[in-house]
Amino acid sequence: MKKLLIVGLGLIGGSIAKASHGYFDEIYALNKSQGTLRTAEQEQVIVRGFSSAQDCPKDIDLVCICTPISTIVPLAKQLFAAGCGRLFTDAGSTKAGIMEGMNTAGIPFIGGHPMAGREHSGYAFSSAGLLHGANWVLTPSDEKQDTQALQDWITYMGACPLVMNAAAHDRAAAAISHLPHILASALTEVAGEAEEKDAMVRKLAAGGFLDITRVASSDPTMWQNIFLNNPKYILEMLREAQNILAEWEKMIADGEAPALYDRFAKTKAIRDSYQKDFAEKAFREEV
């Protein structure tokens, strides 16, 4: 693959463009903001930017769409109809619905989800290092579809390719990404309402609160799209969380000291095991 087109030059699209230098001979971008395109051109992140699908080069080997979920399939259809792109992928946080839309349209597509991000959005916050060490899920249309070219590209950017089924991805993402966003937003709402009654709440909010609610500062449009496109598994995880919270409520109301200790010990062990796995993965990558 020699030519890459990034659609949507925001935090993820900009980071992919920067991390792909040296892998592709030419990198182009399709983006609404002319200012962002000009900045990327001046920084030599892209060869040239376009604001219309019709104006994009036709001999593009790979199109990577990094826009809100609801726009991914329509944009792919526009580009495919214009003869632009031999292979399509995306950076959407849900996969099953996108896969269905692409397959129905007959677009050569391998789903993608780089699991990296920041609470701030936009090209100005993008960097090649954002993708380093991040898992990057690929969801082929079927088991026979060759993903090796994309895996090689992902590895070049410093990310870790994982091939899995689209539905399995959406369920896992609901548990470790989408539900936590609900909880972070809910905790922020609780603090906001508490502050209305007592201004000391804001004064006492420190690192721990800001750490656990960090993702509540993320782009609302992106998260609106995610929740509208993965309701089945998000609702499943939300119901599970409500059941667990009800158990915590009962333990507290009944003053069950041993049960509370056991529950804290259990969750500590689970969290520590996740942290250990993450640290070992990072160490292997550095070595």
CATH of the domain at 208: 1.10.3660.10
Are 225 and 155 in the same domain? no
Residue 235 confidence (pLDDT): 98
Residue 284 binned pLDDT confidence (cut-offs 50, 70, 90):
low
Pair 168, 233: CB distance under 8 Å? no
Spatial separation of the C-alpha atoms in residues 282 and 28, rounded to whole Å: 31
Say if 100 falls within a structural domain.
Answer: yes
Residue 85 confidence (pLDDT): 94
Residue 81 confidence (pLDDT): 94
Of all helices (H) and strands (E), which one includes residue 131?
A: none
At a CB cut-off of 8 Å and minimum separation 6, what does 155 contact?
161
Q: Is 6 helix (H, G, I), strand (E, B) or coil?
A: strand
Q: Which of 103, 135, 163 is the last residue of a domain?
A: 163
What's the whole-number average pLDDT of the chain?
A: 94
Q: Which of 133, 163, 193 is the last residue of a domain?
A: 163
Say if 267 falls within a structural domain.
Answer: no
Say if 270 falls within a structural domain.
Answer: no
Residues in the chain, total: 287
Q: Which of 137, 163, 189 is the last residue of a domain?
A: 163
Give residue 181's domain range.
169-255
Residue 121 binned pLDDT confidence (cut-offs 50, 70, 90):
confident
Pairing of strands 160-163, 87-90: unpaired
Exposed e or buried b per residue across 240-251, where buried means at least 16 C-beta atoms within 10 angstroms of its C-beta:
ebeeeeeeeeeb
Q: What is the mean pLDDT of residues 231-253?
A: 97
Q: Say if residue 283's pLDDT is above 60.
A: no
Are 35 and 174 in the same domain? no
Q: Is 65 helix (H, G, I), strand (E, B) or coil?
A: strand
pTM for the model: 0.88
Q: Say if residue 286's pLDDT is above 70.
A: no
Are 81 and 119 in the same domain? yes
In the β-sheet with 26-30, what is the strand arrangement from edge to edge? 48-50, 26-30, 3-7, 62-65, 87-90, 109-114, 135-139, 160-163
Are 30 and 155 in the same domain? yes
Please name the amino acid found at residue 172.
Answer: A
Which tokens sit at 271? 């969290």
Say if 286 falls within a structural domain.
Answer: no
Say if 282 falls within a structural domain.
Answer: no
Are 43 and 76 in the same domain? yes
Pair 127, 15: CB distance under 8 Å? yes
Residue 143 confidence (pLDDT): 79
Are 140 and 48 in the same domain? yes
CATH number of the domain enclosing 116: 3.40.50.720
Are 22 and 90 in the same domain? yes
Are 13 and 95 in the same domain? yes
Q: Say if residue 259's pLDDT is above 70.
A: yes
Q: How many domains are there within the chain?
A: 2
Residue 110 binned pLDDT confidence (cut-offs 50, 70, 90):
very high
Exposed e or buried b per residue across 92-122, where buried means at least 16 C-beta atoms within 10 angstroms of its C-beta:
bbbbbbbbebbeeeebebbbbbbbbbbeebe
Say if 37 falls within a structural domain.
Answer: yes
Q: Give which of 59, 41, 57 is closest to 49, Cα–Cα.
A: 41
At a CB cut-off of 8 Å and minimum separation 6, what does 281 contact?
133, 160
Residue 223 confidence (pLDDT): 92
Are 9 and 148 in the same domain? yes
Are 138 and 102 in the same domain? yes
Pairing of strands 109-114, 135-139: antiparallel
Which tokens sit at 264? 């804290």
Are 7 and 147 in the same domain? yes
Are 232 and 157 in the same domain? no
Q: Say if residue 142's pLDDT is above 90.
A: no
